[in-house]
Amino acid sequence: MRQSVRIWGAGIAAAAVVAGSVGAAVAVASPSPARHKPAASAPAAGSATASMKTVRAWQQFRIRGVAKGVPAGSRVTLQQKLSGQGWRTLPASMNTNSRSMYNMRVMLGMKGHNKLRMVDSHRRAVSPVIDVWVR
């Protein structure tokens, strides 16, 4: 058990969120994260792009996009795809602005191919999958 916790600790992903007047928040994924399944009938609505496709471990980059189909001021949360385990909700979220746009600072520590997406408070996907490679 302790060895698996150490292995998880080595691959911890973190995200830092800065949202205008909200301030700054730093989030670190825990060894036993909550996993949520999105609604099967929830197609990705809106857009999302990463400022960089390849980053070094713990290098900061941004995810920007528009969350269509959700009201302005809605909370959106970052999720990461784990191979064979579904989507893991990372403790990084922010509210959309008056035009339903978001702009989040992110740092990842889990090396390799990372698949990310944004979801709303009802766990419906509001962005397509974003591919980021961590060296």
DSSP of 61-128: EEEEEE-TTS-TT-EEEEEEEETTTEEEEEEEEEE--TTSEEEEEEE--S-EEEEEEEEETTS-B-S-
- What pLDDT does residue 43 have? 55
| Whether pLDDT at 12 is above 50 | no
CB 111 within 8 Å of CB 121: no
- What pLDDT does residue 44 have? 56
**pLDDT tens for residues 31-77?**
344 444 544 445 557 899 999 999 999 999 999 999 988 899 999 99
Q: Is the CA virtual torsion 116, 70, 62, 19 positive or negative?
A: negative
Q: How far apart are CA 48 and CA 67, in angstroms?
A: 8
| Whether pLDDT at 28 is above 60 | no
Specify the range with the lowest mean pLDDT, choosing from 37-41, 66-70, 84-88, 126-130: 37-41
- What pLDDT does residue 76 have? 95
